[in-house]
Structure formats: structure tokens, C-alpha cells
Amino acid sequence: MAKVNLPRNAAFTKPKKGTLPRLLKILFKNFKFRLILVFVCLILATLSNLTSSIFVRLVTDEIYRAITVEYVPSRIVFVLVLMGSLYMVGLIASFLWNRTMAIITQEYLNILRKEMFDHMQSLPIKYFDTHVHGDIMSLYTNDVDTIRQLISQSLPSVIQTSSIVISLFVIMLSSSIWMTLVVILGTVLMFINTKVVGGNSAKYFVKQQRALGKTEGCIEESINGLKVIKVFSYEEKSKEEFQEINENLRYNASTANSFGNMLGPIMGNIGHILYAGLVAMGSFLIVSKTPNLTLFGFQAISYGVVTSFLLMCRMFTMNISNFSQQITFIVMAMAGASRVFDLLDEKPETDEGYVTLVHIKYHEDGTFEETDEETRFYAWKHPHKVDNTITYTELKGDIVLTEVDFGYVEDKIVLHDVSIYAHPGQQIAFVGSTGAGKTTITNLINRFYDIADGKIRYDGININKIKKDDLRRSLGIVLQDTNLFTGTVKDNIRYGKLNATDEEIIAAAKIANAHDFITRLPNGYDTMLDGNGANLSQGQRQLLSIARAAVKDAPVMILDEATSSIDTRTEKLVQDGTRKLMEGRTVFVIAHRLSTVQNSDAIMVLDHGRIIERGTHNDLIAQKGVYYRLYTGAFELE
């Protein structure tokens, strides 16, 4: 086992202020009337619990009276019937509040998860680039589960135990101040125990939640990269890295649970000592016939008072212990809720665009107008705030980048003074080593990121003015990393156009040369895919990704090394198919094989975020520069 040096005195990260009020605000906003019912039932259940000590006193005194003075059965029967009736009311009330709270909790979590997922869809790509995916998943599982514990059990328990403790304290004062002083002494010891032991338990439970998120992130990363781990024989090193992270989780979890497990027994033993102290005090008051001091003056103490006091002491210590344990769960929930609210407080992707994409239909004279009908023709609808007019610009796919600078972080620019002119129907290719900035340029065109300086214009319109959804609706993209979703082959192709007909899906598959292999699948287009298409080859998955872009039928296509996972024969078939797809469209191509970009209208050679050469294939070969050396194999893309 690898030795891990753990920071045992690491700073304790407290939950954010206002977390509990924020949770309660959502709760009361959605379940106000049902919470009132829960509160009423809680009070009834609490009163039912409290009556037990009072009835024990009454029954004990009545039995003592029957033995020593006069036997009146009706009085004893009345007390027992009344006690049973109140217990039945408490039983029904407990059933109702537990059942109602269980329903409220699940509905609350449903609302919370939906809000989290909806908000996550609005976050910028940068958030997912800077957060471990397994840690994000932990928010939906572990952290949300701590909130479930809080709402369904901890909060009702705190309300009930607090009510019982306060009520018992008042009843005890009205029964015997001398004996109550013994209880106060025991209560002080209990609170000291809660602060010291419970405080440490809560601290490490918070650390456990954070460590759990890191552990799940590590597992998720290892599963995704399992093939890489095996092919490079990285298993042992991977085990060591996981062991270190898992050991951190083990240490925090075991420390938290050690303190948590100590809390109950210590509280129980304090309760036993307190119980013995009350027996001693009660016996002394009875034997010595010392006047019993109460809120109402001095009275003679009875056997019923002592007996009921012992029962109240049991209830008092049990509820104090329960209260202290719930504090730990509340702190855990606050830590989990803080992480959930961190996600909800992340700033969504901003969109100040106001230019929208609309369908148009052409007239015989060549003019066009906006239409609600779904056509293959689009225009940019551009409202002008100055004179309240609206202009329409045909969507042609003319994209111009002028002196663009960009950095993923402000102090580190990765693109410098990039200017590109892509006119409708042109194919623009990007060539360069890994990290040269090829994919970054395409990320700027679809506004996954915003530029630091310069301009990007789409059909003459600054893309910052175009709504992001409409901008991306006009772009088709095939990424190097293929993502397929759980569903049929047909569903995955239809992802490019949700209202696509079966005929359009088949036509798109034929363009991508995917139709042939799809028809050989067990259920053809209705074959179920899961695990990111694990039952398909990498090349087949890439063909589906290309078919998905084809069915979108967008005027601008971005192919980010789209054929990187396809063999040479399949690549030729794809190129033959996509040639029709690219006709009349602006196409940006990032290719790892230079042979695939020879026919491009312009080839951009990038190096460290700068365009160092540009021109057609023949122009660049004639220059005998970097592209020439790459093409002839003088040196490789490094």
C-alpha cells in the first residue's frame, strides 16, 4: 500500500452563509400548505410523547392512593383510556407527517435536480473544461442525498426534539427545581460533548463530501481512459494514484465516523450518570422529607413525581442526543448544498445577441420574405434600435475573421492577429501542429468562446449581435471526438435535426456512406446504441457523426479532423459523399492528412497561434516553405 501523507490539520471549509435559508426558501415556496400539515402533526406527536411522563405520574399516584387511602377503579380506568387515546392521536400524527415529508422530500429533490440540470445546459463550455466531470456527477448523487437526509429527517427531528426538550424542561421545573438542577448539570456536559466531539465529526464529514467528489472524478476519468491505461501498461500507476485519492477519502470518512460513533455512546453514558443522580436526589427528597421546590413554591414530593421525573430524564437525554446527532447531518447537508448552489450560482452563458435566423421564401422576381413555413432558405433578421427598422440579410455563409486575438485565460493569448476570409462555397483548411490553434478558431466561429480583440463577421454581421442559438443552428459540425447517445441509430442521426423525417435521415446516412453498414446492423436504423456506441467501431461512430451533420443541412460546415478515425478506403468513400454536402457551403476543415485538403480554396498554416502561410495547395508547394516540407515529409507536425 502506498504511503500517503495527509494534512491532518487542514483548514476546515465551512458551508457558505445563507445556505440553509436558501434551501428553506425553495421548500416553503413550493410546499407551503403541506408543510403546515406536517408542522401540526409534529406538534400533536410531540404532545403525545410528552403526556407519557404526566400520565405515569398520575397512574403512579392513583395506584398509591388506591393502596393507602381509597380504591376508585373508575379514576384509574379513565386515566388509562385517556392516555391510550392520546397515544393513538400521536401514532396517527406521526404516520401522517412521516408520509407527507417523504413525498415532499422526493418532489423537492426532483425540482432541485431539474433546476441543476437546466442551469447546467446554460453554462459555457469553459465551466466543463475547468471542472472534473466525476465531481459534477457527485453533485447529483452524494450532495443531493445529503439534502434528502436534511429535509426528510434532520429538520423535522430538530423541530420535534427542540419542542420536546423545551416542554420537558418547563414540566420538570414545575415538578422539582432541585431535580431539574441535576438535569441542567448533565445537559451542560452533553453540550460540551456535542461541541467538541460533534464539531470534529461535522468538520470531517464536510471534508468527506469533497473527497468523495474527487474520488468519483478519478473513477470516471479512469473508465473513460481504460483503453489508454491498458495499452500503455499504466495499471499499477493508475492504482497508486487512485489509492492516494481513496486514502484521503478513507481518512476523512473514518475520522468523521469515529467522532460520530463516539458521540452517541458518550451521550448515553452521560444520560446514565444523570439518571443515577436523579434517583439519588429523588430518594433524598423522599427519605429526608425535604420540601420540594417548584415554580409554584414548596410542595411535598410524591412517588409519582420521582417516577415521572426519571421517565422525563430518559426522554430529555434521548432527545438531546438525537438533536446533537442531527447537527452533524445538518452540517453535512449544508456542505452538500453549498456545492449544489455553487453550480446554480455559476454565471450562465451570456447572450446579448438580437439578430435571429428565420425561414424565407423567394418570389419569382428574386425577392424574398419571412415565412413560418419550414424551407431550406434562411435569412438574418436584424432589428435596428436607432430607427426601429428591420432588415433581412440572406444567409450565405460568408465568414470573415479580422485581426482576431484570443486567450482561454486573459493573461495568456493563444491566437494572435488571425485574419481569415471565407466566402460562400469556399473550403478553408487549417494545417499545423497540435496546439497551433486550429480547433480554437472553429470554437470562436460558433462562439463556444468569445474573442479578446478583433472582429468576426457572418454575412457582414458581427457575430456578437447574433443570438447564439441561431448562430449555432446555421453551423454543422463534426468533431474529432464522437459522442453518441443512448437511443437508436435513427435517433442519433436525428440529433442534427429533431424534426427530420426518416427519408431525410436515410439520405444523410447515404451522403456519409453510413447507410450500408447501418442496414447490416441487427435492427438497421432501429438498432439501440448505448455506452457511446460501444457496439460500433470507431469508424462507424464517426460516420454516424458525419450523417448527423449532413441531416442538419447547414450552410456552414466545420469538420474537425472528421476522418481521423476512418481507414483510407472509408475515408475516400466519405470524401466522395461529403463532396455533395460541401457544394454551395462554406466549409472549414481541420485535417491530419494533407492529401485531404489539396482541393481546398485556401490553406492556412498555423504555428503557435499565428498564420504563417496561406494560399492554395499549388501556391504553397511553389513557395517551398513549411507546408511544402510538411507535404513532402521533410518534417512532421510536432
Residue 299 confidence (pLDDT)? 59
Tens digits of residue pLDDT in 183-228: 888 878 877 877 777 677 767 777 777 787 788 777 877 777 766 6
Nearest Cα neighbor of 217 from 242, 238, 240 is 242
The rounded percent of the chain whose pLDDT value lies above 90 is: 17
Quick one: pLDDT at residue 454?
Answer: 92
Measuring CA to CA, how many Å separate 289 from each of 274, 286, 300?
Answer: 22, 5, 7
427-446: average pLDDT? 88
The dihedral built from the CA positions of residue 494, 496, 501 and 502, taken in this order, carries a sign that is negative
The residue that leads in pLDDT, 614 or 635, is 614
Per-residue pLDDT band for 179 (boundaries 50, 70, 90) equals confident
Instruction: Read off the amino acid at residue 247.
Output: E
Same domain, 367 and 467: no
Residues 338 and 476 placed together within one structural domain of the fold: no
- 31 contact partners, CB below 8 Å, separation of at least 6: 104, 107, 108
Question: Which of 570, 625, 596, 563 shows the shortest CA–CA distance to 430?
Answer: 596
Alpha helices in 413-481 (DSSP H): 438-445, 468-473
Q: Give me the DSSP letters along 257-326.
A: HHHHHHHHHHHHHHHHHHHHHHHHHHHHHHHHTPPEEETTEEE---HHHHHHHHHHHHHHHHHHHHHHHH
Residue 594 lies in a domain: yes
Query: Residue for cell digits 490539520?
Result: 9
The mean predicted confidence, pLDDT, of the chain is 81
Range with the poorest average pLDDT among 285-294, 325-334, 544-553, 600-609: 285-294
Domain with 373 in it:
356-394
Same domain, yes or no, for 145 and 61? yes
Which three cell numbers mark 461? Answer: 454581421
List, in sequence order, every residue forming a beta bridge with 475; answer none if it has no partner.
556
Residues 339 and 463 in one domain: no
**In which band, very low, low, confident or very high, does the pLDDT at 303 lie, cut at 50, 70 and 90?**
low
Virtual torsion, Cα 533, 534, 537, 541, nearest 10 deg: 20
Q: What is the pLDDT of residue 89?
A: 85
Q: Number of structural domains, the chain?
A: 3
Question: What gap in Å lies between CA 632 and CA 615, rounded to an integer?
Answer: 17
Query: Does the residue 168 lie in any domain?
Result: yes
Decide: 89 and 44 in contact? Cβ < 8 Å.
yes
Same domain, 417 and 557: yes
Q: What is the DSSP letter of 139?
A: I
Q: What is the pLDDT of residues 204-213, one digit of tens each?
A: 777 777 787 7
Of 24-28, 341-345, 632-636, minimum mean pLDDT range:
632-636
Q: Which of 322, 338, 478 is nearest to 16 (CA)?
A: 338
pLDDT at 358: 92
pTM of the predicted protein model? 0.72
Grid cell listed for 151: 429535509
Q: How many Å separate Cα 268 from the centre of its chain? A: 39
Domain with residue 267: its CATH number is 1.20.1560.10
Residue 2 pLDDT greater than 60, yes or no:
no
- Together in a domain, 317 and 364: no
Where does residue 416 rank: exposed (0-12), middle (13-18), buried (19+ CB within 10 A)? middle
Q: How far is CA 157 from CA 75, 151, 321, 533, in A?
A: 35, 10, 11, 47
The span from the first CA to the last CA of the chain, in angstroms, equals: 39
* Contact criterion met (CB below 8 Å) for 396 and 555: yes
Query: Does residue 9 have a pLDDT over 60?
Result: no
Asked if the model's pLDDT at residue 341 lies above 80, the reply is: yes
Please indicate, yes or no, if residue 173 is contained in any of the structural domains.
yes
pLDDT band with cut points at 50, 70 and 90 for residue 247: confident
> Are 298 and 410 members of one domain?
no
- Say if residue 517 is exposed, middle or buried (CB neighbours under 10 Å; 0-12, 13-18, 19+): middle
- Tens-digit pLDDT profile for residues 494-540: 888 888 889 999 988 888 888 988 999 889 999 988 767 777 887 78
Q: Tell me the range of 60-69, 139-148, 287-296, 526-535 where mean pLDDT is highest.
A: 139-148
Q: Does residue 436 carry a pLDDT above 50?
A: yes
28, with CB counted inside 10 A (0-12, 13-18, 19+), is exposed
Whether residue 14 is contained in a domain is answered as no
Q: How many CB atoms lie within 10 A of CB 339?
A: 24
User: Cα separation of 358 and 473, whole Å?
Assistant: 11
pLDDT of 4 higher than 80:
no
Report the C-alpha gap between 382 and 141 in whole angstroms: 44
Q: Is residue 306 domain-shared with residue 376, that is, in the same domain? A: no
The verdict on 389 and 407 lying in the same domain is no
Say what the pLDDT of residue 635 is.
46
Instruction: Answer left, alpha or beta for residue 447, where phi above 0 means left and psi between -120 and 50 means alpha.
Output: left
Confidence band of 72 (pLDDT split at 50, 70, 90): low
Establish how many alpha carbons lie within 13 A of residue 334's alpha carbon, considering only the half-sphere containing its beta carbon. Answer: 19
For the cut 80, the answer to whether the pLDDT of residue 282 exceeds it is no
* Same domain flag for 598 and 614: yes
What mean pLDDT do residues 252-262 have? 78
Amino acid 295: pLDDT: 60
Query: String of b and e for 104-121 (b: at least 16 CB within 10 Å)?
Result: bbeebbeebeeebeeebe
CA distance 617 to 600: 7
CB atoms within 10 A of CB 618: 9
Name every residue whose Cβ is closer than 8 Å to that of residue 1 and which is 6 or more positions away in sequence.
243
Asked, for residue 306, whether it belongs to a domain, the answer is yes
Q: Give the whole-angstrom CA distance, residue 320 versus residue 185.
A: 13
Q: Which amino acid is at 210?
A: R
| C-alpha to C-alpha distance for 340 and 283, rounded to whole angstroms | 55
* CB 45 within 8 Å of CB 167: no
Look up the CATH number of the domain holding residue 580. Answer: 3.40.50.300
Helix (H, G, I), strand (E, B) or coil at 468: helix
Is 350 contained in some domain?
no
Angstrom distance (rounded) from CA 26 to CA 399: 46
Q: What is the 3-state secondary structure (H, E, C) of 152-220?
A: HHHHHHHHHHHHHHHHHHHHHHHHCHHHHHHHHHHHHHHHHHHHHHHHHHHHHHHHHHHHHHHHHHHHH
> Is residue 45 very low, low, confident or very high in pLDDT (cuts 50, 70, 90)?
confident
pLDDT at 11 over 80: no
Is residue 16 included in any domain, yes or no?
no
Q: Are residues 389 and 242 in the same domain?
A: no
Tell which of 345, 367, 386 closes a domain.
345
Angle separating helix axes 568-582 and 538-552, nearest 10 degrees? 0
Q: Which residue has the cell 454551395?
A: 584
Highest mean pLDDT among 4-13, 249-258, 268-277, 361-370: 361-370
User: pLDDT for 96-124, tens place per residue?
Assistant: 988 998 899 999 999 999 999 999 888 88
pLDDT at 636 (0 to 100): 47
Answer yes or no: do 473 and 385 share one domain.
no
What number of residues does the chain have?
638
In a domain, 6, yes or no: no
Closest CA to 575 of 482, 478, 493, 504: 478
Cell numbers 486567450 correspond to: 407
Alpha carbon of 124 to those of 120, 206, 341: distances in Å? 9, 28, 17
